[in-house]
Amino acid sequence: MRKYEALIVLNMKGSATLDELTAAMTEKLESVGAKVTETKNLGRREFAYESDHQKFGQYMSFSFEAEPSVPRAAREALSIDDRVHYQYYRVK
């Protein structure tokens, strides 16, 4: 198993709290085979330019261990979620 880090920018327009969104993202990552070891709230940041009619996003970092095929499955699972604005994965 390899160690990965996912940077996920969350859309905070809905009524869900940050804790609820963090739990939902952790659950989705674990549903595709990731073992989440750490989550970090990187704060609310302003975008360089407006994207999808949004000026800000909530940045979260998720560290996890998984097989090499899991990041692709995670990207596909999270790409259909309206609460995810952007996602990036890297090997730690």
Domain locations along the chain:
2-91
> Whole-angstrom Cα distance, residue 10 to residue 58?
5
pLDDT tens figures, 57-87: 999 999 999 999 999 999 999 999 989 999 9
Q: Count of CB atoms within 10 A of residue 19's CB?
A: 9
**Domain 2-91 carries which CATH code?**
3.30.70.60
**9 band by pLDDT with thresholds 50, 70 and 90:** very high
Percent of the chain with pLDDT over 70: 100
What was the pLDDT predicted at 15?
Answer: 80
